[in-house]
Structure 1
Amino acid sequence: MPDNNETPDAETDEDYDALMAEWEAMADSEDGEEVEGSSERVLDQSEIDSLLGFDDDGRGGGDNEGINAIVNSTRVSYERLPMLEVVFDRLVRMMSTSLRNFTSDNVEVSLDNITSQRFGDYLNSIPLPAMLAVFKAEEWDNYGLMIVDSNLIYSIVDVLLGGRRGTAAMRIEGRPYTTIERNLITRLMNVILMDLSAAFDPLSPVTFRFERLETNPRFAAIARNANAAINTRLRIDMEDRGGRVELVLPYATLEPVRELLLQMFMGEKFGRDSIWESHLSAELWHTEVAIDAVLDQLEMPLSSILNLKVGDQIPLNKTPSSKVALRCGDVEMFKGQMGRRNGHIAARISDKLIRGPGEFDQ
């Protein structure tokens, strides 16, 4: 007989062998398939990469995949306001003309993209040095932000002060902007704000007024860091010089015209077309209509009408002071007094008939 002291070792070996057998069964299962008696599911590497948003090369799959899609699901997309693209396309066309007049140079303006992001994230991503203009939408009683990058700042200064064409603008880093540079860029910002106001005019009249110029993003906080904002990036090219202008409009600023920005195209007003209505009303005022003055109406049998002869008289229950009915077709419009003016029979309108429920009431 084996010694009693050896019994626990034998049981331990048996438990160890059983545990190893279970691990081998789990290792042999295909692609995380559950093993009988096991309630946990094991993810393979491809599923883990998909969850984290990585592709086969180990690179991130973008903001719309994996955990990034969950984190960014609370962002508001600018595509919910389709009229913004129409407004900014109009802004690009107007800026191309106004900046050519401002710089007396060949200027090309293009719209890079329109994105939406949290205001705090955007402030932290602004490349410095740059100039930030805080402007106010007077009618909407809120603020917006305009950012001019350093490339465009030095290019505008070079163009306005007579720099040679064909040479890139010189950049001097590590110093604050001078008063001349600030004044010139302020003039540029005012031109852009005037065009932005004109671009919104067909949708809703608004005046964007320049408030102040900042060089530190911390002093240009016009909204909470978690608030959503729309970032519009514009590219301005002047031959081989140029840079970018970015317009940031918080959603709170656009809230007064949100219903108008939801329209799919200009003129869509729930089935109404204001242009056609204005044209139709203008033409109706010049339309000629025939008005009949009816002295009286008398009902007679057909036999009596057929027996009428020359010289017969039809008595009317009217006096010279009785009012006559003025009709347009079969619709009675006015009541009036008969008279004579300049040798012609005339009618003076005294009462205007108002349509009642199913009839005309005086």
Structure 2
Amino acid sequence: MKAVGIILAGGNSSRMRELTHRRAVAAMPVAGSYRSIDFALSNMSNSHIQKVAVLTQYNARSLNEHLNSSKWWDFGRKQGGLYVFTPTITMENGYWYRGTADAIYQNLDFLKKCHEPYVIITSGDAVYKLDYNKVLEYHIAKKADITVVCKEMDEDADVSRYGTVKMNDSCRIEEFEEKPVLSRSNIISTGIYVIRRRQLIDLIERCAEEGRFDFVQDILIRYKNVKKIYGYKISNYWSNIATVNDYYRTNMDFLKQEVRKYFFKEYPNVYSKVSDLPPAKYNPGACVKNSLIASGCIVNGTVENSVLFKKVFVGNNCVIKNSIILNDVYLGDNTYIENCIVESRDTIRANTRHVGEDGIKVVVEKNERYAM
């Protein structure tokens, strides 16, 4: 494909509360076996984009470990491949990434050395499948300067944390509001953009000269009446996981048969780094209903409507309902968990009770079972 990919995976989300104290949002576990960034990387690979740069910054250790081998997404190649860029102090610059446009600017040499005429820009915190070839074909057919992938949300959805757009009959974007208090549209930007490489370099360099750092505010909104910016609507499943409630809802969606079939069984596939773990083990007395149980788990108690990630141990007489248990958690005997997200590497002591009364409760045990 005649495009290079950029995945913006450096951001922090305070709306994720304790879940992002130790990891980036793009490294959040999803659906038992995946990380959030796997979906963007798989889409790049399935769209035959051979050169992808991941821009990381905040709490990047686990994300960098996940990306330490590019073979899982078929980027192990002589030409192109997977590049991971973190902020670097140079003679000219001593800043961390100050925004999405600044992150691209600090790695502009990567784009200047590329030969592909187009750039696909996406975030690492969304769960979806998309053929970027179709977006690029649309972009070329419309003779657009920038194409923004959009999705029409339900009428009752809260769109205040997204960028909302209004398009005319030819799908040209006429209005773009970033995180509006009162939205006049329920069509949102998914944070996926297509732009010509030379034009992106020019716009980013102009932003840097003017001391501007944000791609949405300082390029999309600022140039919406100057550049031809078009919207490309998608109708398939798309979910952003940058809040605790959205993260919980997205994982619970995988308990629905149609969502599991779409992501697990329908082509194209979603790829991830594979762990060498034994299959889940269900001991006598275990009772599991409508749940996802990942490899390496040992279940002795009751699990209902829940997602258990890798290497979770569920003790005797435990009850887990409507909850997400992240990787490598030990649940002692007679534990009761409901409406919770249990942080990875926790040891929940026996006879403990955690219930999310008003919304989803994030359970973080301050134990030292593992070094940080």
- TM-score calculated relative to the size of structure 1: 0.22
Task: Choose between structure 1 and 2: higher helix proportion.
Answer: 1
Q: Which has the larger radius of gyration?
A: 1
- TM-score calculated relative to the size of structure 2: 0.21
